[in-house]
């Protein structure tokens, strides 16, 4: 995973680079808007997320974002800014930014937002997955069974999509924690069991079927053709 950081405050840029690398990202850093635009537009290997400071020298981050969107670059953009007025946030979003973090910010929150943007952009590139009469559409974040829409919470959806996208495979608890929680939850916690119970209550119980099988001591599996009635 690759991220481009465009921040003219070199001390802050260094902190961001170190934190993102420790989180497992490959990071490139630039300190002005012209360089940010050039790297985002012409770099051979695309970035997963762009982290843009609003008040960059040469070309401000808002203009960089608007120009990138104008030439068809769809990489998720997280805008950093000390400008906190509602009108500023609206301008940033209207320019094509996907999220907005005001300065000063909590580093853990920023990292969580980066991870969320990366997951969202991944989903946007994926086609809907069908298992029996269950349809999970990652781009629209919609779930239906036998034509009936099913409402899932955001994290419930992420867990279900992970399992159906790997139908026929055993998905370990560690994999779920690593990909859905980014390793932030203790493996000994029963949080996965709680979420799976809620998912099953929504996608299976009303339809008299079983989608997710617990493989004792190993993890969870969705059968490719759906579970028995």
pLDDT, one tens digit for every residue, the chain (229 residues): 789 999 999 999 999 999 999 887 889 999 999 999 999 987 666 888 999 999 999 999 999 999 999 998 888 899 998 776 667 667 777 788 888 888 888 888 888 888 878 777 666 667 789 999 999 998 788 999 999 999 998 789 889 999 998 899 999 988 888 778 765 555 566 888 899 999 999 999 999 999 999 999 889 999 887 554 4
Q: How many CB atoms lie within 10 A of CB 160?
A: 26
Sheet with 26-30, strands from edge to edge, namely 26-30, 2-6, 49-53, 77-81, 99-102
Q: Which domains does the chain have, with CATH numbers?
A: 2-124 (3.40.50.2300), 129-222 (1.10.10.10)
CA dist 78 and 32 (Å) reads 16
Rg (CA), the chain: 20
pLDDT score recorded for residue 229? 46
pLDDT score recorded for residue 13? 94
CA dist 44 and 176 (Å) reads 31
Report pLDDT digits (tens) over 15-24.
Answer: 999 999 988 7
The distance in angstroms from the start CA to the end CA of the chain is 40
Report pLDDT digits (tens) over 66-80.
Answer: 999 999 888 889 999
Q: Nearest Cα to 27, choosing from 15, 13, 19, 17? A: 17
Tokens of 29: 């850093």
pTM over 0.75: no
pLDDT score recorded for residue 155? 83
Sheet with 142-145, strands from edge to edge, namely 129-131, 134-137, 142-145, 148-150
């Amino acid at each position: 995973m690759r991220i481009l950081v465009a921040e003219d405050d070199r001390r802050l840029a260094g902190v961001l680079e170190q934190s993102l690398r420790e989180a497992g990202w490959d990071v490139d850093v630039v300190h002005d808007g012209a360089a940010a635009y050039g790297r985002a537009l012409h770099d051979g290997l695309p970035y997963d997320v762009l982290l843009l400071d609003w008040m960059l020298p040469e070309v401000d981050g808002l203009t960089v974002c608007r120009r990138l969107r104008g030439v068809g670059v769809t990489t998720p953009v997280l805008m950093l800014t000390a400008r906190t007025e509602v009108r500023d946030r609206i301008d940033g979003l209207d320019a094509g930014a996907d999220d907005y973090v005001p300065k000063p910010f909590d580093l853990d929150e920023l990292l969580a937002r980066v991870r969320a943007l990366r997951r969202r952009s991944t989903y946007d590139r994926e086609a809907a997955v069908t298992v029996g009469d269950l349809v999970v559409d990652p781009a629209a974040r919609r779930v239906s069974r036998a034509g009936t829409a099913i409402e899932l919470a955001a994290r419930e959806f992420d867990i279900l999509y992970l399992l159906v996208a790997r139908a026929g495979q055993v998905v370990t608890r560690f994999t779920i924690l690593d990909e859905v929680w980014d390793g932030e939850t203790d493996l000994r916690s029963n949080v996965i069991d709680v979420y799976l119970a809620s998912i099953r209550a929504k996608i299976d119980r009303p339809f008299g079927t079983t989608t997710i099988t617990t493989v004792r001591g190993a993890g969870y599996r969705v059968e490719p053709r759906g579970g028995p009635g």
